[in-house]
């Protein structure tokens, strides 16, 4: 049946199928589960047009570019996954306001000040992102929530104002 569907495939074609399956399993091992499924499906779908070229010199030229493109997509997905690992933890107590931030590289940053002197500012323009939120106090100004979407930053600002006001009059 395989020969009736793809009549031009000969021994070279079976090598290609073996390489495709092997590459798919290697990608599956080195990536997260859902990312691997996406990569495998992309690889298979991009190779359908190549089945007619199996056994020719044109196949390897096109296959090389498809493999580079697929590797670029895999790299972009892995980079996006790594960049998502930002963690910010804001702790407000009766005496202290503390912000701890873990960057995607694993580096930790901290800021703290007396909660009574904590000032929250929303910069609608002029920041690196729209509706940029900063906390100031203790002689420093720090950003918070820059990785959030614009509506999420607006909600965060309103929530922070509410919490800080509550603690100021506590």
Give the residue numbers spanning the domain of 163: 87-168
Please tell me the predicted confidence (pLDDT) of residue 157: 92
For residues 107 and 161, state if they share a domain.
yes
Distances (CA, A) of 27 to 32, 45, 156: 9, 16, 38
In this structure, are 72 and 92 located in the same domain? Answer: no
> Last residue of some domain: 50, 83, 116?
83
Split into its structural domains, the chain has a count of 2
**Tens of pLDDT along 21-34?**
777 666 666 655 66
CA distance 42 to 102: 33
**What pLDDT is attached to residue 169?**
57
Residue 16 has what pLDDT?
65
142 and 103 fall within a common domain: yes
Query: In this structure, what DSSP letter does residue 169 have?
Result: T
Q: Based on the domain organization, do 60 and 22 belong to the same domain?
A: yes
Q: Write down which residue in 29, 59, 83 finishes a domain.
A: 83
pLDDT at res. 17: 65
Please tell me the distance from the alpha carbon of residue 90 to that of residue 170, in angstroms, as a whole number. Answer: 18
pLDDT of residue 155: 92
Same domain (yes/no): 136, 105: yes
In this structure, the number of other CB atoms found within 10 A of the CB of residue 143 comes to: 18
Extract the tokens encoding 143: 């950003």
| pLDDT digit string, tens, across residues 32-55 | 566 667 777 777 777 777 777 777
Same domain for 73 and 132? no
| 115 in the same domain as 92 | yes
Positions of the chain with pLDDT under 50: 170
């Amino acid at each position: 049946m395989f020969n009736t569907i793809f009549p031009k495939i000969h021994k070279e074609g079976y090598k290609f199928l073996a390489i495709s399956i092997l590459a798919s399993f290697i990608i599956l091992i080195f990536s997260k589960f859902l990312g691997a499924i996406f990569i495998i499906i992309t690889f298979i779908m991009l190779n359908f047009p190549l089945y007619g070229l199996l056994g020719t010199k044109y196949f390897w030229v096109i296959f090389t570019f498809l493999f580079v493109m697929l590797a670029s997509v895999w790299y972009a997905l892995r980079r996006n996954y790594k960049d998502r690992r930002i963690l910010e933890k804001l702790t407000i107590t009766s005496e202290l306001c503390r912000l701890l931030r873990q960057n995607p590289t694993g580096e930790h940053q901290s800021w703290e000040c007396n909660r009574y002197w904590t000032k929250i500012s929303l910069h609608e323009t002029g920041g690196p992102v729209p509706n940029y939120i900063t906390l100031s106090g203790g002689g420093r100004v720090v950003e918070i929530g820059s990785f959030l979407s614009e509506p999420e930053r607006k909600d965060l600002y309103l929530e922070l104002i509410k919490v800080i006001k509550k603690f100021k009059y506590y």
